Structure 1
């Protein structure tokens, strides 16, 4: 073979080799493309796994475990970059799930059922109203025990009580030292694992054993003992009766001074009382104010209620009568006797809705209700309705008396208060009622 022929053959072989390489590159490029497409498709769909036995029935994909949902008893921490005053090292989630971080006192955050990431987002949105670009992180510090009952709040000790069959609410309260000096056992809240809750009154010493209030507990229950609402109440013949913050070493005289002092000529100082834990303690304040006997100026305890009654030889009549004011009570007097003795009703009088306050019963009931239900007692309508239900306040239709119904001519007692409404004014004591300091009410009505 000549030199030229050898070169031609050599060039042909090189061309073939290049074509082979190109084909190989093209083949691998095509395979790589298919692989990338497969990977992309796999990222978008869940692969079906066939069982090892060759059956056509697909095996369900592995279940993804959801992120931890926060609940009562969990402890979280909150970190805010560049704003250390907003950070919180330890926040225990209460039964209602609402936490109140700094700056958000008026808008508590409900974290029940939320993840820590969701809580961080909620806090970021809330704090953005007050600071620029807050960077918030929330961490789960401690999970709530699932095989125990959690007790927290204002007990001497807080924490978990190991669950056992037959465990009752009083068992766990006792294990934590009871209510102590600051725990309010009359409003204990139990939150169950399903999110439902109930409030129990465990303050009664007779609540024990299988009493209805001493409920059985279950795994995951959360028991919360709130802070004892520390206040004292002054009722009766004082200038500004009501509830006042309790202070250590506060005395009866201190409390009466807070209420503006007693009303001279109307207050029966010798018959004052303190209601404490359902018991009545008599005190003679006349001996203190007039004679300086400090033994009658007792030191008060949180929740005490002081009552200074009205002098008992008079009945008060106000409203649409000819002569308003007090009059000397006579034993056996009835409603119409009192109205008639003050000159009778005026032409504007609405005698179909005369209101009688039996003040001795009213004062006693009001003191008891205020001590037992301190929060509700601040609602004047609630208090008025309770006193009316229990007979301390009566609404009488005297039209029936003039038609021969003697039962509506109700008997009176010394110190009772009668109000005859006017068709012109169109309202009664119910609308005027505050926490019934009769002195305030008398002054208001006397202006009619």
Structure 2
């Protein structure tokens, strides 16, 4: 009897629990208000009209300052600083490209048309990364340095880029802006959600280290998270290029990833590089992120690990990459291969390095290299003992075969000298010399 009497109560408790669970679930997926600021666009166009109405440069600058720069939002001010925009650049762009500005005016003044899509993208990102913290989205106006950027709690949309489309008139642009013309062919307004989510991810990431490996991961992870959130790939050519040329790209990446002089070949560039396609490194970073995600049992945790990667923690970064088996070896192994392939000094022609009995009458010191060097570059510095131990150098000349360099010097007797051949010395392919110190002492006479 007691058991039978309890059954209705048990059903009621289950029903109440179900209702509570349902309410909690609704609360979890409920949209969080997203602040979007667009005042800088209206300010820009007010300044634009005034500037176009006068030929006087002082008056043009006055209008720009009073109507746009001085009224800038926090986001627009951050864009000025982050991209080092100068007032003169705005004046030049406004006066030189009126057809362009007129062609994007309608899109930029109708930012409300894109807001729902932007907010939807943020909510989609939150669904795959529940720890998302709130950032503010700003429609800013720049002069052709970025379609968007994200840092701190700021998502900055470069509206002159991002709100263009296939109908944008770029006919007035000089040749140096060809990459911008290519960008408009991707129909940017159709990809505004992906761009926004990519930049939003950047506001969640930790600060990057200034090296190729960190930078391609930073960008590739943002692309990957944006793809998982929106269900769309990046609209840029590097996606298909890497898909079609992955073995070649990976081989070059492993060869160049530790050579900081090759950074512009991989990220934040135009198509004028070794691939003929901009930002190929983004897709390398994406593929590493994809490999990490594919190996993970907990997919939500995998995305969290990617977004929250600490780039200042070398062990953490290397463990993530090595765990994917995406590259042909571990990060350490690839580094060792890179070091082994760099040029080095193999001999000093006139004496053995470290000699204590070099003739003070010697007038030349010739360093012999392991491979041909770029003869247009000389890179010389002091050794650890400083400038007091650096000889008087009258000239630095390469041999015709580029396999050695000769320092014409004046030496004093009974004195120690050091000459540092720095890693600025490099091959025509930018493979950097292992730094080398010529260290010797002259005889008494």
Q: TM-score range by the shorter chain?
A: under 0.3
- Bigger helix fraction: 2
> Scaled by the length of structure 2, what TM-score is found?
0.22
Larger radius of gyration: 1
The structure richer in strand per residue is: 1
Normalization by structure 1: what TM-score? 0.22
